[in-house]
Amino acid sequence: MALAKNPRLLEAIKSVVGPDVLLLDSRFICKYPTSGAGAATTDQADGTVPEDQLPYVAWHQDMRYWGIDGGPVLSVWLALDDSLEDNGALKVIPGTHRSGMLPHELAKRHGNMLSVNQEIPEHLVDSGKAVLCPLLAGQMSIHDGFLVHASDPNMSQRRRCGLVIRYVPPFAYPIHDLDRPRKFNAVVLVSGTDQFNHFSS
């Protein structure tokens, strides 16, 4: 909670959504090494994970599974470890936050870390325009919930872990969508006031 309320972090969030900010969710996301100390469980004699089973994150939009409308969802990635190309740093398609909601389908490739194995169909993603977003431990990135993004497998011998924190303005509200069955039981006001109470139980 201290990290989510950090004044320097909230200053950046408020510059986008205004003075009133709700903390929607936070969680750790880790990709463990593929070999060496701390590696994930393997089933090969050489101690490596088969390449077609390495954890990755498919191209997607956060808004597809957050069940929020009426306002933006901002996702902060706070790097606890260096997050670089070789251990699966975030990559984004610039400008796609203006594309609205794109179709998603079940991923065909094994190892997708997303909650319901969703991905944007390949023909809708111009991966040639992808931009890598490397971070050193202690740095952070912020992206809009409609931004198309993904990350490749961790091919290094180092862990890649970050704290993802998601914020919304109070005028955003949860929607009832069978494809996005989210429950919001612990939304916390972290800046300003909430005149809407859309997340009150």
Q: State the pLDDT at residue 180.
A: 62
- pLDDT value at 193 more than 90: yes
Which SS3 state, helix, strand or coil, does residue 140 take?
strand
Question: DSSP letter string over 155-196?
Answer: -SSS-EEEEEEEEE-TT-EE---TTS----S--EEEES--SS
How confident is residue 150, by pLDDT bands cut at 50, 70 and 90?
A: very high
- pLDDT value at 179 more than 70: no
Domains in the chain, CATH or no CATH each: 7-191 (2.60.120.620)
Mean local confidence (pLDDT), 52-61: 88
Q: Per residue in 72-115, pLDDT tens?
A: 999 999 999 999 999 999 999 999 999 999 999 989 888 999 87
- pLDDT value at 160 more than 70: yes
Q: What is the pTM of this model?
A: 0.87
Residue 34 CA to residue 17 CA, distance in Å, equals: 39
Mean local confidence (pLDDT), 173-189: 78
Residue 15 CA to residue 66 CA, distance in Å, equals: 22
